Amino acid sequence: MNNIHIFIPCGQVIIEQDIMRSIALFVALLLPITLLAQQGVLKESLKVKSTTLAKDVEYSIYLPADYDKSNRRYPVLYLLHGYTDDETGWSQFGEAQVIGDRLMQNGEAAPMIIVMPDGGVSWYINSYDGKTKYEDFFVKEFIPFIDATYRTRTTKQYRAIAGLSMGGYGTLIMATKHPDLFSAAAPLSSGVFTDEEIVSADERTWNVVLGELYGKKDLTGKDRLTEHYNKNSVLKIIETGNADELKKVRYYIDCGDKDFLIKGNMALHSVMIDKKIPHEFRVREGVHNWTYWRTALPEVLKFVSESFHQK
């Protein structure tokens, strides 16, 4: 049997292999740089000095990917945490940076600054005894501070607010009391209560959570429906408010079907229908947890982006 000799130009193979290795190395080095360039910057637990609250207030902030590479100004979303959380809630558990990066990279959301302040357990209102004036701080000090410190677009059209649970209540308080400040509001699983729920709340809930906000501790029954409660009841604000003023804000309301706060959110939906206030209302399968709110945040970013765009 004759031997068959196959000639392989070894030099050419070696050169082609070297080229492929060089390309692979270049791609491997370039890819992390490209991904890094597309990521926004998250800064946690910064401080602002508050004269109103007589203390430093911490906040976290997300700056979009090109913030340090341009001189442009950006719209702002104020994102409020829930009861017992703090300024790191949305960044640590809500994955605000990851979700923000993804939607802004994909063009599903406008590049925006996301500001996450620490609200303590204030429910974002002024307490009845005047000791904690968080609403005053937020409106008179915090928003002006953010506008002065960062490159924000300072008009109403480019400012939105959203939040979960206590932060959902705070979102509604700010939007309904100050409709000239916000173009959009997206309360999630909002801490909205009917009068009946306040009257029948157990003693611990009133004394620990609500009493110091709306009135004295140890109040029972209808005595809990204090003047300060009525001034800060979202349902009453909408029922008695000027519909034309309330309509200045676009509303996106979302609550899980098994959430313990669904009754108040249904009541909110109902009173807005009666008042003829346009709003989007979503009831999805879910409970009062971060799994639900992480799936809600992308829709919030899309919703507020619609307000930020020129018509």
Half-sphere exposure of 159 (CA within 13 A, CB side): 20
The predicted pLDDT at position 33 comes to: 47
Report the Cα–Cα distance between both ends of the chain, in Å, rounded: 83
Tens digit of each residue's pLDDT (9 = 90 or more) over 169-206: 999 999 999 999 999 999 999 999 999 999 999 999 99
Could you confirm whether domain 46-193+233-308 is CATH 2.60.120.10?
Answer: no
Enumerate the domain spans of the chain: 46-193+233-308
The answer on pLDDT for 9 being more than 60 is: no
Q: What is the mean pLDDT of residues 290-295?
A: 98
> By percentage, how much of the chain surpasses pLDDT 90?
85
- Is-contact 135 173, C-beta < 8 A? yes
Pairing of strands 76-80, 159-164: parallel
Q: What is the mean pLDDT of residues 136-164?
A: 98
Of the listed ranges 13-27, 64-78, 107-121, 241-255, the one predicted with least confidence: 13-27
Tens digit of each residue's pLDDT (9 = 90 or more) over 81-95: 999 999 999 999 999
By residue count, the chain amounts to 311
pLDDT range class, residue 8, cuts 50, 70, 90: very low
The answer on pLDDT for 4 being more than 70 is: no
| The token pair that represents 62 in the structure block | 């997300």
